[in-house]
Amino acid sequence: MDHLQRVRQLMEEEELEALFICQPENRRYVSGFTGTSAYLLITEEEALLLTDFRYVEQAKTQAPAFTIVQHGNPALPEIARQVQRLGISHLGFETEFINVATYQALKELLPQSQLVAADALLIRARAVKDAAELEALQIACTIADQAFQAALDVLRPGITEREIAWTLERTMREAGASGLSFDTIVASGQRGSMPHGVASSKTIVSGECVTLDFGCIYDGYCSDETRTVAVGHPPEQLVEIYSIVKEAQEAALQAAQPGISGRELDAVARKIIAAHGFGDAFGHSLGHGVGLAVHEAPSIAPNSEWILQENMVVTDEPGIYLPGIGGVRIEDDLLITAEGAKRLTRAPRELLIL
């Protein structure tokens, strides 16, 4: 089933008459259009893609299931005209994306139509991946693994965090990535206690741990991988927390399967870390879904009601952070299958002492 069909099926289940989409990943998911500006209007009968002059030709090629409508500037009057033409009384829209100004303008232009929240429908649709999406995700993960290997070749005392980040980024681009999933994190020594310590000009010193968190976009799909390595012999406490994080990460990998909730899976890793006395030093969720966005559903967190299903892709990324000392995180992207979880990122997880 293609994505438009899938979304229409969910619209029918939720008795939603029409859907208005402008969030870029949702737009790409449903239509295939990769440009930076377009609006989708979907009913049971019609699928419209409204865009400006710059993207008309591209939209016709990328979104063959859609009728392409060229709008002027501003776009909203044409959108409102189409909503009225289609006789839409209830229009689903993305409350978490549309800004207040656009919302107010839509309400003024469409006094006859009710605007209703439709975020959950699209989040649900995207959480379970099809074969083509899984193929792109696997390639994005394999490229990230290659980048980690390249980083190991340059990681030595005297190199800066930014130089290591550039090696990761250049390797991913040369291997076919179209961009990065997020700003590359390289956090060495005491900076390792910052879970999102973006690469700085700091120089690596022997005896430090270095946390690398990186990922790329391949054919629209993101990878997200973290490894912590040691350059020379690190403080004993970091060696100790490394083995705890590794144990927690492996336990979650073994527990991840269809039917387990995000909350239960998070607890598998969190209990191990807490049992060693580091519960307060693991202050973020265990993981999140990965797809067209690097952070998407399902969340793997203490409050997550999501139930894992076959063909979801989620991260497994416990960490322990000790301010003034450093930190450790290990992250893989996992594909949920009927037989359990399969790692899409496959770089070694034992503590590498370089």
The residue type at 316: D
Residues 336, 173: Cα–Cα separation, whole Å: 27
Site for Mn ion in 196-235 (CB under 5 A): 224
* Contact string 162-191 vs Mn ion (x = CB under 5 A): ------------------------------
47/347 with CB nearer Mn ion: 347
User: Which residue's CB is nearer to Mn ion, number 26 or number 315?
Assistant: 315
Stretch that binds Mn ion, among 199-207, 259-267, 314-322, 342-350 (CB under 5 A): 314-322
Q: How far apart are the first and last CA of the chain?
A: 48
HSE, side-chain direction, 13 A CA sphere, residue 213: 24
- For residue 1, list its beta bridge partners: none
For residue 224, the minimal CB distance to Mn ion (Å) is 4
* Preceding amide of 77 cis, omega within 30: no
CB of 122 to Mn ion, least distance (A): 21
Helix (H) or strand (E) holding 59: helix 56-62
Our CB check for Mn ion shows the closer of 69 and 180 to be 180
Q: Are 187 and 161 in contact (CB under 8 A)?
A: yes
Alpha carbon 66 to chain centroid distance?
A: 26
In angstroms, give the least distance from the CB of 317 to Mn ion. Answer: 5
Spatial separation of the C-alpha atoms in residues 309 and 338, rounded to whole Å = 8
Report the residue number, 91 or 293, with the smaller CB distance to Mn ion. 293
Q: Closest separation between CB of residue 213 and Mn ion, Å?
A: 7
x/- site string to Mn ion, residues 274 to 313, per CB under 5 A?
A: ----------------------------------------
Q: How far is the CB of 105 from Mn ion (least distance, A)?
A: 36
The residue (of 43 and 315) whose beta carbon lies closer to Mn ion is: 315
- How many residues interact with Mn ion (rule CB under 5 A)? 2
Residue with tokens 């006789």: 87
The residue whose Cβ lies closest to Mn ion is: 224
- Strands across the sheet containing 225-231: 185-188, 208-214, 225-231
Closer to Mn ion by Cβ: residue 78 or 224: 224
For the chain, how are helix, strand and coil distributed in percent, rounded to 5?
40, 25, 35
User: Which of 272, 315, 318, 325 lies at the binding interface for Mn ion (CB under 5 A)?
Assistant: 315
Binding residues for Mn ion, rule: CB under 5 A, are 224, 315
